[in-house]
Structure 1
């Protein structure tokens, strides 16, 4: 999912992991696309621009939804159309992942109530304020919240979570090929 003021690596890191998985193993099941919260170009941190192929108003729930973080998450907490779409994805997507403060959006949608989750270290208190029943995990790169919901810590932790998901869905061999291709310190 793309939106204005998203953190670049929160968005681009997982995007790259799933794309590289397809390149190193053509049997990988990932079809990567950008779904925007609105039509038109979306500008992330530092001027990074994404032109989504669809909007949340047009798109059906993807098999894997990734909600990046960044300062742009805060306005999303008060946009009912975004929160409702996230809730719909929770019902229909196989996996819903958040990176960094994307966890705040999942929390606003009620997806982290009563479960363990993580986020950027600077947003632990904000996560608790958004979802008081969430057990904030402060010392892990990523956390499985439920069968289908995962959260990761700040920024680069989204790459680790994405690699883990590639390993779960495509196996350790494909994950290791992605790690080697990206020269990631796994």
Structure 2
């Protein structure tokens, strides 16, 4: 599936998987080149293999990065410690064991021993499925959908395959919102035909050309549709979605959490000033 910006770019999860794959492939290729070159007596080949092995060293910081993204905060310290210990103990053991191993079997064995686990890791990456990503069809069935922004938004709106699926968005049964150039997507879908919208200044001419009035303000909403203009207006959009789905307290908590230290009250107050006119009126008390 193509990324949300529709420009043929890979999703970030696929980029990370590609990087890990290439790192392991460099390690395996370098080990094989170094092993074969050692057996053939080619110094240049050994150097080339070692360079490739060096490139694969990026797998170590990748491991820590993946741990930070995948492990719960309360377990992260233990996982990082285990990774550090594994790298340290492995390196120390390798230096001790390498000497006797080279004396008995020759230096090429060291490289073959490194190539074997690299091959096993590559095989596992190829055979294990990637985590499933949400599809556009699933988005159209969600309680709330925020259409993001990107440099290829116009290309998205010209892609019949994407737009035909997005026609399943229905503000009568779900919250639909757009950030910056995402307003162009909603405009092309005909969802903004009866209401004005907010967008960034770069996208404004295209949204106007689509027949939508663009307001000179950061946020606007009507019923289940909302748009925001400017990257720093994104928290208005997010807070309104949270307020509609989870209530005022949840939205205020989220706003307070992301606001700059020392300016939290100011940021939260400004956010509510922009959002409140577009929230449903509170129901009157029954007693």
Is TM (by shorter chain) over 0.5? yes
CA distance in 2, matches of 1:157, 1:48: 29
Q: CA deviation at 1:41?
A: 4.0
The answer to whether the 8 A contact 1:39-1:54 is kept is: no
TM-score by length of 2: 0.45
Query: CA, structure 1 residues 155+93, in 2 after alignment: closer, same or farther (shift >3 Å)?
Result: farther
After TM superposition, what 4+ stretches of structure 1 lie above 6 angstroms from structure 2?
A: 37-40
Q: Secondary structure at the match of 1:162?
A: helix
Q: Secondary structure at the match of 2:226?
A: strand
Answer with 1 or 2: which has the greater Rg: 2
1:137 and 2:215 correspond: yes
* Alignment partner, residue 17 of structure 1: none
Greater RCO (Cα-Cα under 8 Å, separation 6 or more): 1
Selected match of 2:160 from 80, 97, 120: 80
CA distance in 2, matches of 1:97, 1:81: 21
TM-score by length of 1: 0.66
Q: Give 1 or 2: higher helix fraction.
A: 2
* Alignment partner, residue 154 of structure 1: 230
Query: CA, structure 1 residues 42+116, in 2 after alignment: closer, same or farther (shift >3 Å)?
Result: same
Superposition CA RMSD, Å: 3.2
Q: Give 1 or 2: higher strand fraction.
A: 1
The answer to whether the 8 A contact 1:97-1:151 is kept is: yes
Q: CA deviation at 1:114?
A: 2.7
Query: CA, structure 1 residues 126+169, in 2 after alignment: closer, same or farther (shift >3 Å)?
Result: same
Q: CA deviation at 1:73?
A: 0.7
What is the count of residue pairs matched by the alignment?
A: 147
Structure 2, unpaired ranges of 5+? 18-130, 261-266, 269-287
* Alignment partner, residue 42 of structure 1: 11
Q: Secondary structure at the match of 2:178?
A: strand
Selected match of 1:171 from 247, 251, 256: 247
